[in-house]
């Protein structure tokens, strides 16, 4: 059957290149024109030029769909071009100003935004662009240009993700003769976990006794009803890939001795079932990496039942890996992986002696640490 909604010649790679091309093909001529106008204004050819041109001379706002990593090259190119034209480059700045307007309600959305994002090459440029929004009371976030671009793409990708998630849950409900609208209505009432900032900060992989189990269960139910759920099917693979990225970073250090802080899946719990740190430790040991583990949340003598069976299966010699005192192995480690923000980790920066640190929890005081999110 032919899908009437399918674009027969659509290609995702072509679409991505087209978006990149628009950023350059349209953005460059606009910037060229603005630089020429700025040069005329600075030379005194238009002494009464309106105020907004002066503002443009300080801040050039890139179009809302500029791809991340485009703003900086454009700024560098036009900085050099401005110098060659004799323009006072101190007046030249680049801003990325993403819009969050929906078709059909653009004016309403512009006047009532959730926030305004200014990606600025410098404070002066951001100040000039911000004057356009002086009449709005929404919060303002001033970030780097590429960060502003990425906020736009993260937002739209998350919106697409939400639609796909709701549709897959709805499809499973339909197969089970359940009212999917009712399910998602109640789901959205949870403002603490479901519809909230929770779980929306980059970090490490998920684990524990609930999430992986329930994900496998619902995927099995869908498969048993001959229902394809590509999004749900891919979640565990995505989680595994994220863990593997950390393994790869450690392996690049070529058998360096590693201290991993954290073994259970979260602070305050000794649950080791499907902990991403158990998986990380298992992979590192399998590659011959010398490893020691520190986690005061886990007292192996008190680990029983399925919890014990899981760790014995995946880390059969865990008793030889776990240490009770952090300082006894910290000095000897070449790589330190911080997987849990434990109380005695707070003073860690002053105790480090040049080790390579992988920060999976986000400790800003750890200067120079590698983090999976940049």
Pick the catalytic residue from 83, 95, 173, 210: 210
| 23 and 67 co-located in one domain | yes
Both 41 and 108 in one domain: the answer is yes
Q: Could you give phi then psi for residue 80, rounded to 5 degrees?
A: -65, -40
Residue in the block written with tokens 């986000």: 362
Where does a domain end: 144, 172, 203? 144
Lowest-confidence segment of 36-40, 111-115, 208-212, 338-342 by average pLDDT? 36-40
Provide the number of structural domains found in the chain.
3
Domain of 103, in residue numbers: 12-144
Shared-domain flag, residues 41 and 118: yes
Closest CA to 360 of 210, 260, 216: 260
Which of 144, 168, 202 delimits the end of a domain? 144
Tell me the DSSP string of 222-261: HHHTT---HHHHHHHHHHHHHHHHHHHHHHTT-S--EEEE
Of the pLDDT bands very low, low, confident and very high (cuts 50, 70, 90), residue 53 is very low
Task: Check residue 192 and give its pLDDT.
Answer: 96
Residue 118's H or E segment, with its range, is: strand 116-120
Range in 34-43, 62-71, 187-196, 244-253 the model is least confident about: 34-43
Pairing type for strands 94-96 and 116-120 reads antiparallel
- Check pLDDT > 80 for residue 32: no
**Has residue 355 been placed in a domain?**
yes
Residue 367 belongs to a domain: no
| Together in a domain, 130 and 159 | no
Q: Encode pLDDT of 149-178 as tens digits.
A: 999 999 999 999 999 999 999 999 999 999
Most confident residue range from 95-109, 125-139, 279-293: 279-293
Residue 35: pLDDT over 60: no
Instruction: Supply the pLDDT for residue 12.
Output: 44
Both 209 and 248 in a single domain?
Answer: no
**CATH number, position 310:** 3.40.50.720
User: Is 251 within a domain?
Assistant: yes
83 is catalytic: no
Residue whose C-alpha is closest to residue 125's, from 108, 106, 145, 105 = 145
């Amino acid at each position: 059957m032919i899908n009437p909604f399918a674009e027969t010649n659509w290609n995702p790679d072509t679409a991505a290149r087209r978006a990149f091309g628009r950023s350059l093909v349209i953005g460059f001529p606009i910037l060229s024109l603005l630089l020429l106008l700025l040069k005329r204004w600075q030379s005194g050819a238009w002494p009464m030029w309106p105020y907004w041109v002066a503002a443009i001379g300080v801040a050039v706002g890139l179009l809302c769909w500029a791809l991340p990593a485009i703003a900086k090259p454009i700024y560098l190119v036009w900085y050099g071009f401005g110098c060659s034209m004799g323009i006072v480059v101190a007046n030249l700045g680049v801003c990325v100003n993403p819009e969050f307007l929906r078709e059909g309600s653009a004016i309403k959305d512009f006047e009532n935004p959730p926030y305004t994002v200014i990606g600025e090459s410098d404070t002066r440029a951001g100040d000039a662009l911000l004057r356009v929004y002086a009449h709005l009371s929404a919060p303002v976030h001033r970030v780097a240009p590429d960060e502003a671009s990425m906020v736009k793409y993260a937002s739209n990708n998350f919106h697409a993700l939400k639609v796909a998630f709701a549709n897959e849950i709805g499809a499973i409900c339909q197969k089970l003769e359940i009212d999917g609208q009712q399910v998602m209505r109640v789901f959205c009432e949870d403002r603490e976990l479901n519809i909230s900032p929770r779980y929306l900060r980059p970090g490490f992989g998920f684990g524990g006794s609930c999430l992986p189990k329930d994900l496998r269960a619902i995927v099995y139910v869908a498969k048993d009803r001959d229902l394809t759920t590509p999004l749900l099917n891919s979640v565990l693979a995505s989680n595994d890939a994220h863990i593997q990225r950390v393994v790869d970073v450690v392996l690049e250090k070529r058998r360096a001795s590693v201290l991993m802080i954290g073994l259970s899946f979260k602070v305050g719990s000794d649950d080791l079932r499907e902990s991403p740190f158990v998986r990380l430790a298992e992979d590192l040991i399998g590659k011959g990496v010398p490893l020691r583990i520190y986690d005061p949340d886990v007292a192996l003598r008190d680990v029983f039942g399925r919890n014990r069976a899981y760790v014995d299966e995946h880390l059969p010699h865990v008793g030889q890996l776990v240490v009770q005192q952090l300082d006894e192995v910290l000095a000897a480690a070449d790589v330190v992986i911080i997987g849990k923000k434990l109380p005695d980790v707070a003073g860690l920066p002053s105790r480090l002696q040049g080790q390579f640190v992988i920060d999976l929890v986000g400790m800003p005081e750890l200067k120079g640490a590698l983090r999976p999110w940049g």
